[in-house]
C-alpha cells in the first residue's frame, strides 16, 4: 500500500518531471507538499523517502543496524562483494584494509600526481577550444584514481576504457529495471566483461611484481608499494574479491569527483562575480578560503551522491510514520541540502554560507553521508577537487557556452547535456 498519493499531487509531480527533465523535480514537489517523510507514488516502485537532520541521523547512525545497505539492485549485482554493498563484519574487514591508503595523513603524497594528470589532460586543449568539462573532468578523475589506488598510469588506456566504464555506470544508474527487476540487460555483458578482464590483468601483474620483490629479497616482507591494491593483495583476498573492491573504488572514486568538478565549473560559469573573485584569490593566496567554500556549496546544491539506498530489516518509525520491514528506504541528501527550513535561499549558489565561523546543524550537510559508513574517500575527494580546480583556474580562463544545464540522475547527479566551456590560456608559459 502506498501513502500520500492524491491525484492533484500526482499531476503536480508529473509537471515538475517534465519541467526539470529529472525526477528531482517531483521529489521537490512531494517534499514541499508532504514534508520530510513520503512514499513515491509509482506503480511497482514505491520506496519511502526520508530527509532532514533527524531522519539522516537515524538512517546513518542510531538505527543503522535496522537497515541493509543494498538488496538485489544492479549496484549489488555489479559490485558483488564490494565494500559499498556488503554489511557486517565482511564490510568492516574490507574497509579496514583500504582506509590506510586514503587516510588524510597520506594525501599530501598524492598532490604532485594529481597536478600532473590535470596538466596532461589540459595540455590537449587548443587555445580557445570548446570543451565539455564533464568529459574532461572524467578523464582527469579516472587517471588520478587509477594511479592513486592501483599504481596504474591509464593514459594510454583511456580510449579503450572509456566505453566499458560508461557502460558500467549506466548499468547501475536508475532505469527501467526499477520497475521490472527481471529485465534482461544483454547490452552490457560484453562491456562489463571487458572491464573485468582489464582489472584481472592489473591484479595478475601486481601479484607477479609482489612475487618478484620477495624473490629478489626473500628476507624482506616489507616492499615499497603501499597503495590500496597492495593492501588487498597482501591481505590474501581472492582475485574475485579484489576485483569487487577495485571496481567499487574505481566507480565510487571517480564518478563522484567527475560530477563535483563538472558542477563546480558549471556554477562558476553561471556566477561571473564569484568566479572572478575566486580566480583573484587563487592568484594571490596560497590557500584560498573561497575555493573551499565554492566546493562545499557545489556539493550542497548538486551532491554527487544525492540519495542513499537502504532496505529495512525490521519496522522503522520516523516520527510516528512506520516503514514496514522489507521496504526500500532512501535518505535524500539532495532534499536535505535544499530544505528551506535549514538553508536561507536554499536554491541559490552562495558559497559564503560556508565562511569560517558559520555552522550548520549536525546531519544537515551530508555530501559524504555520515556515521561509520561515511564516504571512505571524503578527504581524498576534497583534496583532489581543490588541487584540480586551483590548477585549472590558474592556467585557463573558462567561459560557459551552454545556458541550459539540468541535473541528470545517473549513478551520480550529472550536469547534462554537459558543461560546454571555451578554454583560453591565461599564461601560456605556466602550463
- Any contact of residue 298 with ligand HEM (CB under 6 A)? no
Q: Rule CB under 6 A: is residue 375 a binding residue for ligand HEM?
A: yes
Does 36 participate in binding ligand HEM (rule CB under 6 A)?
Answer: no
Scanning residues 81 to 100, which ones bind ligand HEM (CB under 6 A)? 83-84, 95
Pick 142 or 421: Cβ nearer ligand HEM: 142
Near ligand HEM by CB under 6 A: residue from 134, 146, 291, 376:
376
Q: Is 323 in the site for ligand HEM (CB under 6 A)?
A: no
Extract the C-alpha cell encoding 11.
Answer: 499531476
In angstroms, the CA 221 to CA 70 distance is 37
Least Å distance, CB 263 to ligand HEM, is 10
By CB under 6 A, tell whether 68 contacts ligand HEM: no
Q: Closest separation between CB of residue 367 and ligand HEM, Å?
A: 5
Question: Measured in whole angstroms, how far is the alpha carbon of residue 45 from the centre of its chain?
Answer: 24
Cell of 148: 592513486
Minimum distance between the CB of residue 92 and ligand HEM, rounded to whole angstroms? 9
Which range, of 213-221, 246-254, 273-281, 322-330, touches ligand HEM by CB under 6 A? Answer: 246-254
DSSP 17: H
Instruction: Report if residue 415 touches ligand HEM, rule: CB under 6 A.
Output: no
Shortest CB 266 distance to ligand HEM, Å: 15
Smallest distance from ligand HEM to CB 24, Å: 16
What grid cell was written down for 38? 513520503
Quick check: 296 binds ligand HEM (CB under 6 A)? no
Would you say 387 and 292 are in contact if contact means Cβ atoms under 8 Å apart? no
| Alpha-carbon gap, residue 228 to 235, rounded angstroms | 11
Euclidean distance between CA atoms 376 and 83, whole angstroms: 10
Among 53, 164, 312, 381, interactor with ligand HEM by CB under 6 A: 381
Answer positive or negative: Cα dihedral of 235, 238, 244, 250: positive
Compute CA 272 distance to the chain's CA centroid, rounded to the nearest angstrom. Answer: 26
Residue from the set 248, 264, 288, 298 that interacts with ligand HEM by CB under 6 A: 248
Cα dihedral sign, 16-43-174-294: positive
Cα separation values, 304 from 27, 57, 76, 166, Å: 16, 20, 19, 16
Among 25, 52, 308, 351, binds ligand HEM (CB under 6 A): 308
Strand partners, 386: none
Out of 38, 171, 334, 368, the only residue in the binding site for ligand HEM (CB under 6 A) is: 368
Q: For 322, phi and psi rounded to 5 degrees?
A: -100, 130
Q: Residue 275, interface with ligand HEM (CB under 6 A)?
A: no
Q: Strands of 109-217 (E only): list them.
A: 129-132
* Contact set with ligand HEM (CB under 6 A): 83-84, 95, 102, 248-249, 252-253, 256-257, 260, 299, 304-305, 308, 367-369, 373, 375-377, 380-381
Amino acid at each position: 500500500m502506498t501513502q500520500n498519493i492524491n491525484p492533484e499531487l500526482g499531476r503536480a509531480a508529473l509537471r515538475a518531471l517534465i519541467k526539470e527533465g529529472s525526477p528531482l523535480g517531483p521529489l521537490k514537489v512531494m517534499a514541499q507538499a508532504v514534508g520530510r517523510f513520503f512514499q513515491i507514488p509509482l506503480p511497482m516502485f514505491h520506496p519511502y523517502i526520508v530527509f532532514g537532520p533527524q531522519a539522516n541521523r537515524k538512517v546513518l547512525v542510531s538505527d543503522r543496524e535496522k537497515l541493509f545497505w543494498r538488496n538485489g539492485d544492479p549496484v549489488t549485482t555489479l559490485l558483488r562483494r564490494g565494500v559499498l554493498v556488503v554489511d557486517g563484519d565482511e564490510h568492516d574487514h574490507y574497509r579496514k584494509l583500504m582506509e590506510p591508503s586514503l587516510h588524510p595523513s597520506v594525501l599530501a603524497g598524492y598532490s604532485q600526481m594529481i597536478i600532473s594528470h590535470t596538466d596532461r589532460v589540459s595540455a590537449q586543449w587548443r587555445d580557445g577550444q570548446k570543451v565539455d568539462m564533464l568529459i574532461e573532468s572524467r578523464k582527469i578523475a579516472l587517471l588520478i584514481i587509477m594511479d592513486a589506488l592501483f599504481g596504474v598510469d591509464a593514459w594510454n588506456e583511456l580510449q579503450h576504457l572509456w566505453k566499458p566504464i560508461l557502460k558500467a555506470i549506466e548499468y547501475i544508474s536508475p532505469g527501467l529495471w526499477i520497475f521490472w527487476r527481471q529485465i534482461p540487460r544483454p547490452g552490457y555483458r560484453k562491456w562489463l566483461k571487458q572491464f573485468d578482464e582489464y582489472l584481472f590483468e592489473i591484479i595478475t601483474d601486481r601479484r607477479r611484481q609482489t612475487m618478484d620483490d620477495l624473490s629478489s629479497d626473500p628476507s624482506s616482507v616489507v616492499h615499497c608499494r603501499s597503495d590500496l591494491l597492495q593492501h588487498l593483495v597482501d591481505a590474501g583476498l581472492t582475485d574475485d574479491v579484489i576485483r569487487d573492491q577495485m571496481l567499487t573504488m574505481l566507480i565510487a572514486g571517480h564518478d563522484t569527483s567527475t560530477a563535483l568538478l563538472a558542477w563546480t565549473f558549471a556554477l562558476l560559469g553561471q556566477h561571473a562575480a564569484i568566479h572572478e573573485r575566486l580566480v583573484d584569490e587563487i592568484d594571490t593566496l596560497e590557500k584560498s578560503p573561497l575555493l573551499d567554500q565554492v566546493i562545499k556549496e557545489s556539493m550542497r546544491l548538486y551532491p554527487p551522491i544525492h540519495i542513499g539506498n537502504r532496505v529495512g530489516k525490521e519496522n522503522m518509525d520516523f516520527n510516528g510514520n512506520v516503514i514496514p520491514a522489507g521496504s526500500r528506504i532512501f535518505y535524500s541528501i539532495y532534499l536535505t541540502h535544499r530544505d528551506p527550513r535549514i538553508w536561507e535561499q536554499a536554491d541559490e549558489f552562495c558559497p559564503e554560507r560556508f565562511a569560517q565561523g558559520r555552522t550548520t546543524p549536525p546531519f544537515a550537510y551530508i555530501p559524504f553521508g555520515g556515521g561509520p559508513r561515511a564516504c571512505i574517500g571524503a578527504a581524498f575527494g576534497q583534496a583532489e577537487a581543490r588541487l584540480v580546480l586551483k590548477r585549472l583556474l590558474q592556467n585557463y580562463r573558462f567561459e560557459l557556452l551552454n545556458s541550459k544545464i539540468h541535473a541528470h540522475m545517473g549513478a551520480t547527479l550529472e550536469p547534462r547535456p554537459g558543461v560546454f566551456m571555451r578554454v583560453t590560456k591565461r599564461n601560456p608559459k605556466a602550463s
